[in-house]
Amino acid sequence: MSALSPGAPLFSIVLPVYNRERMLKRAIESCLAQDFADFELIVVDDGSTDRSVAVAEAYRDHRISVVRHPVNRGVGPARNTGVAAARGEWLVCLDSDDELLPAALSSMAARINAMETRVEGVRFMCRLDSGALSPDPPLRGEVWDYEGYVKWAESVRDRRQESLPCVRRDTFRVTRYPETRMLESCYHLDFARNFRTLAAPDVVRLYHSDAPDQLTNSPALRAPEIADDFAKGLTDLLEKHGVAVSLRLSADLPAVSGRPKQLEVVFANLIKNAAEAMRDLPADRKRELRIEGRSDPSHVIIAFADSGPGVKPEDMGKLFSARYSTKGQGGTGLGLYLSHEIIEGHNGTIEVSSQEGRGTIFTIRLSITYKTR
């Protein structure tokens, strides 16, 4: 990460785009309409197959540059590519279907210039297209360390969470977005471990919900088949731990709406956790992982049941906390936390039951996709 170059702007706005030709203009023009001109806009095309690149390149403003991925790699790698091309002191990652509100950058600059304590990140408020503000409850100017961030993240788990992070560019020497399709939660947790963030009350982003490929409009998929594929894909790991896998998936399971890559993260975490939990069982104890899929009138239900040592009753309430790991110092405490966040983001639930000495069951419920006539 290079130092600031002479004449570098205060803000570098990184705008990843994938097949958003109808919405990209809205996002770009919200940046160009700002009354604060000390910024650059880096549009990162993530392998679009529509006219997104043509839309971006049609602008002749010297502050706009376009970087292209030859194939789609995901939002994390796209943001990293944009950051690598950035020159500004502060990075603003804007989604291609959203907008900066009028005077957003001037408000952000004023907030940054008024800071009495050095922080490496500032998180700003959003207005939803419904008119509601996010996050809920609103940010109030506090400075978060890691504990403060995790406490806030857990407090808004079932509420509005959308915001606009703005971070110093040099923090990317330490913390980057995942070079995979993993959720952004990984980046934000890693950032919070290393840096402090100001939770600013300024409302600067307009969040739109009309993009056709958002989670609420995601294509139908067969979640049990993803679990099946992952169990087969982790055969080496399971065999290494002497784990026998039993798959019982109903043949007529309906489809659900969701993002396959995110559900893969959940299923991989649960399968790996089960294998590792059974690793130290006595030689005469059977090591078995049962994956079962069934449905009720409104949900697909997927259960992961292991024959491991189980979880102590006093630890059950901690399993989905970002600060707790069943593996002691050998674990990050992020796997189940992220799994919970992903399933909740799919408007589903993940529950756990356990008996010491007999095993643990994680049960996921996802809403069925119904076709309208």
Residues 6+ apart with CB under 8 A from 78: 16, 18, 44, 46, 69
Closest CA to 167 of 90, 237, 83, 97: 90
Please spell the DSSP secondary structure of 148-182, one letter per residue: HHHHHHHHTTTS----EEEEEGGGGGT----SSS-
- Count CB-CB contacts under 10 A for residue 85: 14
Write out pLDDT tens, residues 39-87.
999 999 999 999 999 999 999 999 999 999 999 988 889 999 999 999 9
Q: Given its phi and psi angles, is residue 19 left (phi above 0), alpha (psi -120 to 50 degrees) or beta?
A: left
> What is the reported pLDDT for 223?
60
Residues in a beta bridge with 220 = 257
Domains of the chain: 11-207 (3.90.550.10), 215-367 (3.30.565.10)
Interaxial angle between packed helices 260-277 and 223-233, expressed in degrees from 0 to 180 and rounded to the nearest 10: 50
Alpha carbon distance 274, 270 (integer Å) = 6
Alpha carbon distance 293, 303 (integer Å) = 7
- Three-state DSSP state, 94: coil
Please spell the DSSP secondary structure of 24-58, one letter per residue: HHHHHHHHHT-S---EEEEEEEES-SSSHHHHHHT
- Three-state DSSP state, 311: coil
Write out pLDDT tens, residues 265-313.
788 778 878 888 887 788 888 889 998 989 898 899 999 999 999 988 8
> What is the reported pLDDT for 349?
94
Write out pLDDT tens, residues 313-335.
888 888 888 656 655 544 445 67
* Token digits of residue 180: 């995979």
Dihedral angle, C-alpha 319, 325, 327, 329, nearest 10 ° = -170
- Three-state DSSP state, 335: helix
Dihedral angle, C-alpha 325, 329, 332, 334, nearest 10 ° = 10
| 215: confidence class by pLDDT, cuts 50, 70, 90 | very low
Alpha carbon distance 80, 52 (integer Å) = 19
> What is the reported pLDDT for 190?
79
Better-scored residue on pLDDT, 48 or 186: 48
| 243: confidence class by pLDDT, cuts 50, 70, 90 | confident
Cβ proximity of 123 and 198 under 8 Å: yes
* Token digits of residue 210: 């009309």
For the ranges 2-16, 24-38, 67-81, which has the lowest average pLDDT? 2-16
Output the pTM of the full model. 0.67
Q: Is the pLDDT of residue 163 over 80?
A: yes
Cβ proximity of 350 and 340 under 8 Å: yes
